[in-house]
Amino acid sequence: MIAAASVPLRVWLDESGTLLRLRLTRPKANVIDAAMIAALDDALSAHLGRRELLAVLIDAEGPHFSFGASVEEHLPDRCAVMLKGLHALLLRLVASPLPVLVSVRGQCLGGGLELALAGTLLFAAPGARLGQPEINLGVMAPAASCLLPERIGRAEADELLLSGRSLDAHEAHDIGLVTAVAEDPEGAAIAWFRQHLAGKSAAALRHAMRAARLDLVDRVRAKLARVEALYLEDLMSTRDAREGLQAFLAKRPPRWEHR
């Protein structure tokens, strides 16, 4: 029997079966590791085909949405499997036939923000912090390199990816990263669902989503394949990438050699 604490995801149907709820359940970090990726992918595979479904809502238990992907799984001998699984999940979300709403509290960083970026609309609490800090570990954010420019434009995306800094929810809203800031982001997402999606034809929504995102899916799929290869074949062969990850795990400052 699997212990309850080890289950990474809670899955249920809400709003009379028209809203698929996916809740990350490993607080406080809610790390996006292999188990979490598999659970999310399994839930989407099992439920996205439901004829009456109108949307998906992803949120998280605890004070934080996610601290990001597993650093241990980013190490050179493990990162290929982890990246390919994560990127397949994110592409599934980008190409989702239905809107994916995301509710964020606290820290939403690294792979956690990449998960949120793959959704359709993002609702954040005022105290949320969103960022891609990978550059501080001597690596980069492959999926965010593809998804951030699509959502907020090239200049803003470049600044965030290169600086590694985090935004508060209001700044993220100002640049278009966040759809709405609310004290209760989960409630705001459900209210948006009830006002704008409830009562609509699921068939019409599926065609509208496909039409709206057809070119986006093609662009993200093509670029992500190239960026993934850049990460695995080039970046992970550098000394500083290995040093940054190992320094993080050892809780010490990295010693860069710029090679």
For residue range 144-185, what is the model confidence (pLDDT) as tens digits? 999 999 999 999 999 999 999 999 999 999 999 999 999 999
Name the residue type at position 12. Answer: W
Q: What is the pLDDT of residue 4?
A: 40
Q: Looking at the predicted structure, is the pLDDT value of residue 61 above 90?
A: yes
What radius of gyration do the chain's Cα atoms show? Answer: 18
User: Read out DSSP for 182-193?
Assistant: -SSHHHHHHHHH
CB 174 within 8 A of CB 152: no
Helix (H) / strand (E) element for 90: namely helix 79-94
Place domain 4-185 in its CATH homologous superfamily. 2-enoyl-CoA Hydratase; Chain A, domain 1 (3.90.226.10)
Torsion of CA 74, 133, 222, 23, to 10 degrees: 80
Round to whole Å and give the CA distance between 102 and 185.
9
Q: Looking at the predicted structure, is the pLDDT value of residue 3 above 50?
A: no
The total of other beta-carbon atoms located within 10 Å of residue 54's CB is 23
Q: What is the rounded average pLDDT of the residues 76-92?
A: 93
φ and ψ of 22, to 5 deg: -125, 120
Structure tokens at 145: 């390199």
- Map residue 51 onto helix, strand or coil: coil
Q: Poorest-confidence range of 18-32, 36-50, 65-79?
A: 65-79
Report residue 6's pLDDT band, with 50, 70 and 90 as the boundaries: low
As a residue count, the chain comes to 259
Q: For the whole model, what pTM was predicted? A: 0.96
Closest to 196 measured CA to CA, from 105, 97, 58, 101: 101
Report residue 7's pLDDT band, with 50, 70 and 90 as the boundaries: confident
Q: What b-and-e string marks burial along 71-92, b requiring 16 or more CB atoms within 10 Å of the CB? A: bebbbeeebeebbebbbebbbb
- Map residue 101 onto helix, strand or coil: strand
